[in-house]
Amino acid sequence: MNPQPGADVTEALEPVATEEFVAAWQHRLPPLFGEARALQLVTLAWHLRQRDPALAAALADEAQPLLATSAPAVAGTALARLSLVRAEACLLRADFDAAGAQAQAALAVFMGRGEHAGCCDALMLAANIASDLGQYRERDAALARARDCAVAGGDGLRVALVHAALAYNAAAANDPNAETRWAAAMNDLIAIGIPVLTVVANDFRVAMAFKRGDHGPAIPWLRDQMAAAGRCGMVRKQISTAANLGLAFSMLNDHGAALDWAQQSLDMARRTGWPVAIGAGLVQMAPVLAKLDQPEAAQAMLDESIGVLAPLTGCFFYLPALSFSGLFALQRGDAQAALLAYAELERKSHGHYREQFLFSVHIGRARALSLLGRGLEAEQDALRALATAVANGELTAQIEVLQFLAQLHDRFELTPPLMAAATGAPLHYLGLALDVAAEIPGFTVPDHLLTLVAEQHAKVGDHARAYACARAAAAAREATHGREVRDRAMATQLRHEAERARAESEHLRRLADVEAKRAQALGSALSDLRAAQTELLRRNELQARMSAEREETLAFLAHDLRAPLTAIAAALSDTPREDTLLRTGRLAQRALTMTDRFLDIARLSRLPLSGRVSLDLASLIDEACETFERRAVQEGRTLEQALVFGVAVLGHREALTRAFCNLVDNALKFSRPGGQVDVLMAVTEQEAALIVTDDGAGMPDAAQQLLLRTGSDRTPAASGRLGLAIVAEVAKVHEARVVVEASGAGTRVELWLPRATANSP
Amino acid sequence: MRSFLLEDDPEHAAHFMASLAATEFQVRHFWTAGSFFEALAESTPQLIVLDWMLPDLSGYQVLRRVRERFGLAVPIVMLTSVDNEERVVAAFEAGADDFLTKPVARPVLRARLQALARRVNQAPATFSGSVSFGPYRLDYARQSVRDVDEPDARFALTPREFDLIWLLMNNPDRFIPRAELIAGVWGKSSEVAPHTLAQNVHALRKKLGLARRDIRLAAVYGSGYRLESPGSSR
């Protein structure tokens, strides 16, 4: 009966689906696109309509445009289904008109396409709307049509759902044939063991049990119903089932358990934000609190429920709230408030459900008038109440009103009814009440009724009958007491069973939690291990790269050092000449210089950014240029400087001086013979630059790449470029920008450094 | 001139001793700081040369202890194998008078030590009379600079520049700390912008054409300056 997650989505639109299927569909959704996605979205929206109406609406909104390109047959059905999703959302927020319109629109589409399942679902929804509005004729008509559609479609599940709804309605309407007509069928549905059938069929069983006053057996059924509704995502049913559990425990005089369930129901309702569910929850909570001797809290609940339900035009649940409101007013002796409540109830119920509340209105008003000392008017309303109860076949209501009439005649001087001449009006009405009670199979006449009869017999001097009735009252009291004790014991047992089941499920949940935590801890440990492994790999890689660079550098160093050393060896192996010593000295110096430069690079790369201090740029440039001035003169080149003293930059003195020297050295080396090298400064708000230009042939690309650190080959191609490698390293550790422009007419190198601020060290 | 050399490297020590053979310096060589301090307890040298790296104490520690004991009376030269700025600046701050990077060329070594010896032997420079340095002749009273090789050359120096070159030419080949130069030229308690000295030095180099005359007026790690005699640089 349940859809298969792998099945085609168009076939998946069963009335309800369990959590596993919804989860499977949600899992399938992400990679889908186009029409396949749209249909999956429709399915999900349909099954999330009560689980998460907001998400369902969002999915519906996403699906709608995707269906624009689908074939009309596919799109039409899917869009109609989305209308049903929206209709249900409207119903839940008590927008009955909109809900009805959407349901009707969907129904029209489904009917046009001969989609029996869709028609059935639209009609079931229409029935629910009518039910919330208390329009039972419309509800029953919709259900009858729904059954026809389900039968026409050969849809066994939907037929069963419609039958369950019809069965429940028969039970709720006191249909005397309900038991014979439906009981066996509902038991069969439950025996099938499908969650949704457990939910709907138990509605009937519970209603019948309540009618019989068998609240004890109803409790396990209600629990089954609760669990099954949870699995099927029937959230509204879960709320009402919890409320019914509260009612059952209340009837068994276990008010503590009753309060727990009523509270649970109300909590669930509040979480959904559905006004009808919240209002109904509050109405059901109020009498439970009243029985717990909490009249103020009960009244507060009732007031709140009226506040929630009153603005919902046409909402049926407003009427029981008004009825309770009148009852509570009577209980606290506030006749005026009771009259107001009953007047409002009469007005509101006048349209569709007059007969259902007519008895409440008349008996309530009669009691209020009696309180006000208006006996005659009270009697008239009581007689109307009696007529209504008789018309509706409500026997217990008849007993109630007859007892009240007896009390009324006892208290006020009223004209007795014609038939009561012999015994007097009170005994006449009480006798009628006892007659009615005798009609009810298994009914125990309440002790207070018998006490009342005894009192009346005593009043008219019939002491023998008075005694007999008093004894019957004592026996009834005992019987009632015995029944109350039994009820209480049953309730306690049921509660213990429930608690044991809850404890077991809690234990299982904790076990699952522990398992989950252990899995999480394992996962976390695994993830830590992976992170550590990644870090280790990263470090190894870094180490390997550094090692490779070191080896490269060492190889290069060895190669370049070899040249002057080989030359020294050659010079020394020659026949000693006058200039040999001079030459070897020069070569040794070259090797030494080169070694120093390597050491410089190694040292520079370790300089911290934080160690930079404020330095006068012009002073540093001046120092660097001074080193080369004599050489420039000796080589016949011009080294011009244009410096601006007093501009501070952030840096390491030694490193910057070294970099500046290398740039000037390089420029002199590659400028034309007799050419010129210019050393300038440029200053902006944030930066200051050293600019070195020469008039040589232009820096080769490889050298530029080395300077800009853009080359892939990190090894300086020639020892002459070691200086540029140092400049690049210095620029890096200073977060400096290097700009190089080179052409056949010369090279311009700019080294832009961050300027020091007033707060710099 | 009685000199102590503390150096643990035999080759450098030998080079050092050989470089100063047949000069006015009589050098006693010590391998360890311990033996150096033992000798110091018996006699006071006129000049001390310290290696930075020693087996028992660092040159820096030896320098501090000598300064604590003798004050600034004995000139001290530090020897380093790498001209690491931090090290040199630390040495200057601890009271070194000069430093040399190994290997030191003989003429440089001699010139530096002689400059220091002159400081010990000579009275402090006074701002009067005349002074000769390389081809330059300075007359303080006239505030004039002449180049004997180029009699027609004219040098238009500001009074500060003149005082600065006067001070430097009176202390050739000697490292002069910034503070000493500023105190000598601008006065001891004067507030001078950090770059003012560099700016004046830069102007002097340009105006006097020092490079063209093979003369270095070298900045020493931002700590001071040294005017090097022609041909004294390595």
Kindly report, residue by residue over A701-712, the tens digit of the pLDDT: 888 887 887 755
Would strands B176-177 and B136-139 be described as parallel, antiparallel, or unpaired?
Answer: unpaired
Answer yes or no: do B117 and B164 share one domain: no
The secondary structure of residue A610, as a DSSP letter, is: G
The domain spanning residue B53 has which CATH number?
Answer: 3.40.50.2300
Between A370 and A4, the higher pLDDT residue:
A370
Specify which of A451-465, A676-690, A717-731, B179-193 reaches the highest per-range mean pLDDT.
A676-690
**B211 and A632 in contact by Cβ < 8 A?**
yes
Between A197 and A520, the higher pLDDT residue:
A197
Looking at B91, B121, B151, which one is the last position of a domain?
B121
Answer yes or no: do B154 and B198 share one domain: yes
Structural domain includes residue A666: yes
Query: Is residue B231 helix, strand or coil?
Result: coil
- For A138-191, the pLDDT digits (tens) are 999 999 999 999 999 888 889 999 999 999 999 888 788 888 999 999 999 888
Sheet architecture: strand order including B76-80: B26-30, B2-6, B47-51, B76-80, B98-101
Structural domain includes residue B69: yes
Cα gap A85→A441, rounded to integer Å: 46
> Looking only at Cα atoms, what is the longest distance across chain A?
166
**B205 and A626 in contact by Cβ < 8 A?**
yes
Q: How far is A519 from chain B (nearest CA, A)?
A: 56
| DSSP per-residue letters across A434-464 | HHHHHHSTTPPPPHHHHHHHHHHHHHTT-HH
CB B176 within 8 A of CB B168: yes
Residues A677, A680, A685, CA angle at the centre, nearest 5°? 160
The domain spanning residue A705 has which CATH number?
Answer: 3.30.565.10
Contacts of A18 (CB under 8 A, 6+ apart): A2, A195, A231, A232, A233
Q: Is B4 exposed, middle or buried (0-12, 13-18, 19+ CB in 10 A)?
A: buried
The secondary structure of residue B81, as a DSSP letter, is: S
At A145, list the tokens. Answer: 């049509």
**B82 and A653 in contact by Cβ < 8 A?**
no
The secondary structure of residue B148, as a DSSP letter, is: T
Residues B4, B8, B12, CA angle at the centre, nearest 5°? 80
- For A196-243, the pLDDT digits (tens) are 999 999 999 999 998 887 888 899 899 999 999 998 899 999 999 999
Cα gap A111→A121, rounded to integer Å: 11
Out of B214, B219, B222, closest to residue A630 by CB: B214
Q: Which residues of chain B have pLDDT under 70?
A: 72, 82-85, 120-125, 189, 231-234
Structural domain includes residue A703: yes
Q: How confident is the model at residue A4 (pLDDT cuts 50, 70, 90)?
A: very low
Chain A residues with CB-CB distance to B198 below 8 A: 616, 618-619, 622-623, 645
Chain A residue with Cα closest to B221: A654
Q: pLDDT at position A17, please?
A: 86
H runs (alpha helix) in A605-637: 617-635
Q: How confident is the model at residue A10 (pLDDT cuts 50, 70, 90)?
A: very low
**B198 and A622 in contact by Cβ < 8 A?**
yes
Chain B residues with CB-CB distance to A653 below 8 A: 85, 221-222
The secondary structure of residue A52, as a DSSP letter, is: -
Structural domain includes residue A726: yes
**A616 and B214 in contact by Cβ < 8 A?**
no
R_g of chain B computed on alpha carbons: 19
Total domains, chain A: 1
Q: What are phi and psi of A640, to 5 degrees?
A: -100, 140
At A452, list the tokens. Answer: 């009342």
Q: A601, A641, A645, A610: which is closest to A624 by C-alpha?
A: A641
Structural domain includes residue A264: no
Structural domain includes residue B200: yes
Q: pLDDT at position A9, please?
A: 39
Q: pLDDT at position A735, please?
A: 86
Q: Which of A584, A604, A614, A623 to mutate to test the interface with B (most CBs of B within 10 A)?
A: A623
Residue at token pair 């009176």: B170
Cα gap A224→A213, rounded to integer Å: 19
Q: pLDDT at position A452, please?
A: 86
CB A382 within 8 A of CB A407: no
Looking at B121, B138, B155, which one is the last position of a domain?
B121
- CB-CB neighbours of A18 under 10 Å: 18
Answer yes or no: do B91 and B187 share one domain: no
Q: A306, A383, A293: which is closest to A337 by C-alpha?
A: A306
Q: How confident is the model at residue A489 (pLDDT cuts 50, 70, 90)?
A: confident
Q: pLDDT at position A352, please?
A: 57
Structural domain includes residue A591: no
Answer yes or no: do B102 and B143 share one domain: no
Cα gap A446→A175, rounded to integer Å: 25
Q: Average pLDDT of chain A?
A: 85
Chain B residues with CB-CB distance to A618 below 8 A: 195, 198-199, 202
Residue A421 has pLDDT above 90, yes or no: no
pTM: 0.51
Answer yes or no: do B72 and B178 share one domain: no
Out of B82, B84, B202, closest to residue A643 by CB: B202
**Contacts A–B by Cβ distance under 8 A:** 58
The secondary structure of residue A574, as a DSSP letter, is: S
Give Cα A18 to chain centroid, integer Å: 18
Between A523 and A435, the higher pLDDT residue:
A435
Answer yes or no: do B117 and B134 share one domain: no
Answer yes or no: do B100 and B188 share one domain: no
Domain containing A634 equals 609-754
Answer yes or no: do B147 and B224 share one domain: yes
Q: pLDDT at position A289, please?
A: 84
Q: pLDDT at position A217, please?
A: 86
Structural domain includes residue B233: no
At A363, list the tokens. Answer: 């008996």
Q: How confident is the model at residue A58 (pLDDT cuts 50, 70, 90)?
A: very high
Cα gap A79→A76, rounded to integer Å: 5
Chain B residue with Cα closest to A630: B211
Residue A22 has pLDDT above 60, yes or no: yes
The secondary structure of residue B132, as a DSSP letter, is: E
Answer yes or no: do B94 and B186 share one domain: no
Q: How far is B196 from chain A (nearest CA, A)?
A: 8
Answer yes or no: do B28 and B76 share one domain: yes
Structural domain includes residue B234: no
At A151, list the tokens. Answer: 């039968």
Chain A residue with Cα closest to B202: A622
Structural domain includes residue B98: yes
Q: Which of B199, B200, B216 to mutate to test the interface with A (most CBs of A within 10 A)?
A: B199
Spell out where A133-252 has E strands. Answer: none
Looking at B104, B121, B138, which one is the last position of a domain?
B121
Q: For B17-44, b where at least 16 C-beta lie within 10 A, e where not — what string? A: eebbeeeebebebbbebeebbeebeeee
**A646 and B195 in contact by Cβ < 8 A?**
yes
Total domains, chain B: 2
Structural domain includes residue A614: yes
Q: How confident is the model at residue A3 (pLDDT cuts 50, 70, 90)?
A: very low
Contacts of A586 (CB under 8 A, 6+ apart): none
Answer yes or no: do B168 and B214 share one domain: yes
Answer yes or no: do B9 and B117 share one domain: yes
Domain containing B62 equals 2-121
Contacts of A332 (CB under 8 A, 6+ apart): A295
Cα gap A580→A575, rounded to integer Å: 9
